[in-house]
């Protein structure tokens, strides 16, 4: 276990290094200059060059990357070009709302998909099976931005039941009940997308397990249906479910960029859009690094979950 963890840690660090190199190269090959967003368009060229020298943008790209990597090894992610604030503090402030939104969305998706997927697999071809799978296909086909705007129009503008955006109401008490009201719409948008995908995978996985010989043996022994369901069916269907859930983490992070912008949710997705618009390279580098670390951590947790779901799987 320890040897496996050390090997995976080494692989993760190598992947993170490769991600930073690739991101740095892409950002510096893109047209435009961050200084264009910081100085007056009518400013003389001397002012522009002075600002570029001050920010270290005149250094060759390998030198800039080496400076950034040196700061990273010291626990620093640099300073934002647009706000001059430490990038680590900016990301830490925005990461909590994003994790809250993503975590609740994933939880909602699981709560909807697991029982529905199992029911569809146990009653294949039934009317409810056709309805739920049809809804799952239709849900995954609807663009999230369209669904988000439709829900805002219906529940915020027409019915006036829920706020249209933000994390707290202006002048409110900024309590958890206020924040919960603002979470409902974005969580529904992301959670239903996850539920639609997971339902189809869970249905397929359970149908595959039901066709196995050991399921027929368990039934022929006269075991209680709940024991067959919990011990034989669900445990063996967990492996593909864990794989799909871990694969949803990058989609959640990517989807939150659009959803946070639409709902004005103050998370890393909104910060990413702001950094892109300002060509804020240090902030973008920090955001990409954090996103890659979260995805790698999710994959590592998935490996550990495999061993818990199926003792026959060994970490070597």
Say which DSSP state 84 is in: -
pLDDT per residue as tens digits for the range 8-54: 677 778 888 888 888 888 777 766 677 766 676 666 777 777 777 77
Strand, helix or coil for residue 79: strand
pLDDT at 232: 64
Using pLDDT thresholds of 50, 70 and 90, give the confidence band for residue 58. confident
Give tens-digit pLDDT for 69-111. 888 888 888 888 888 888 999 999 999 999 999 999 999 999 9
Mean pLDDT of 106-129: 89
Nearest partner of 285 among 59, 25, 52, 37, judged by Cα? 25
Please, which pLDDT band fits residue 313 given cuts at 50, 70 and 90? low
* 190, burial (CB in 10 Å: exposed 0-12, middle 13-18, buried 19+): buried
Under the banding of pLDDT at 50, 70 and 90, the label for residue 124 is: confident
Q: What is the pLDDT of residue 166?
A: 83
What is the pLDDT averaged over residues 151-179? Answer: 83
Radius of gyration of the chain (CA): 24
Confidence at residue 108, expressed as pLDDT on a 0 to 100 scale: 93
Alpha-carbon span 88 to 286, nearest angstrom:
7
Half-sphere exposure of 172 (CA within 13 A, CB side): 15
Confidence band, pLDDT 50/70/90 cuts, at residue 131: very high
Q: What is the distance between the alpha carbons of residues 265 and 167, in angstroms, rounded to a whole number? A: 6
Question: Residues, the chain, total?
Answer: 316
Burial bucket for residue 75 (CB in 10 Å: 0-12, 13-18, 19+): exposed
Q: How many percent of the chain have pLDDT more than 90?
A: 10
How many Å apart are CA 172 and CA 151, to the nearest integer? 23
pLDDT at 205 over 90: no
- pLDDT at 153 (0 to 100): 92
Distance CA 31, CA 90 (A): 25
CA distance 118 to 110: 12
Q: pLDDT at position 137, please?
A: 87
The model's pTM is 0.82
- The model's confidence at residue 225, banded by pLDDT at 50, 70 and 90, is low
Residue 210: pLDDT above 80? no
Cβ burial of 77 (10 Å; 0-12, 13-18, 19+) is: buried
C-beta separation of 55 from 81 below 8 A: yes
pLDDT of amino acid 36:
66
Answer for the pair 209, 215: CB distance below 8 angstroms, yes or no: yes
pLDDT of residue 72: 85
Query: Which of 254, 241, 240 minimizes the C-alpha distance to 295?
Result: 254
CA dihedral 10, 11, 13, 19 (to 10 degrees): 170
């Amino acid at each position: 276990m320890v040897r496996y963890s050390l090997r995976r840690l080494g692989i993760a660090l190598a992947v993170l290094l490769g991600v930073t190199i690739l991101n740095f190269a892409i950002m510096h090959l893109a047209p435009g200059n961050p200084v264009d967003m910081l100085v007056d368009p009518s400013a003389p060229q001397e002012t522009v060059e002075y600002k570029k020298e001050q920010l270290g943008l005149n250094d060759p790209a390998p030198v800039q990357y080496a400076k950034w990597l040196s700061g990273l090894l010291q626990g620093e992610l640099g300073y934002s070009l647009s706000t001059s604030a430490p990038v680590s503090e900016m990301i830490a402030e925005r990461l909590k709302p994003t994790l809250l939104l993503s975590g609740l969305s994933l939880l909602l998706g699981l709560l909807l998909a697991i029982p529905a997927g199992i029911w569809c697999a146990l009653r294949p071809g039934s009317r409810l099976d056709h309805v739920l799978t049809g809804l799952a296909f239709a849900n995954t086909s609807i663009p999230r931005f369209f669904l988000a705007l439709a829900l805002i129009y219906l529940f915020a503008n027409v019915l006036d039941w829920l706020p249209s955006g933000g994390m707290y109401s202006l002048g409110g008490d900024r309590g958890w009940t206020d924040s919960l009201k603002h979470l409902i719409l974005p969580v529904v948008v992301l959670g239903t997308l996850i539920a639609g995908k997971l339902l189809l995978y869970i249905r397929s996985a359970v149908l595959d397990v039901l066709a196995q010989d050991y399921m027929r043996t368990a039934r022929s022994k006269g075991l209680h249906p709940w024991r067959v369901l919990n011990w034989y069916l669900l445990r063996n269907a967990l492996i593909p479910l864990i794989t799909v859930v871990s694969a949803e983490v990058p989609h959640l992070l990517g989807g939150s960029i659009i959803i946070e912008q639409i709902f004005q949710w103050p998370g890393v997705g909104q910060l990413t859009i702001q950094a892109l618009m300002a060509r804020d390279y240090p902030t973008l580098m920090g955001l990409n690094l954090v996103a890659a670390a979260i995805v790698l951590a999710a994959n590592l947790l998935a490996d550990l979950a495999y061993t818990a779901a199926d003792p026959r799987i060994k970490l070597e």
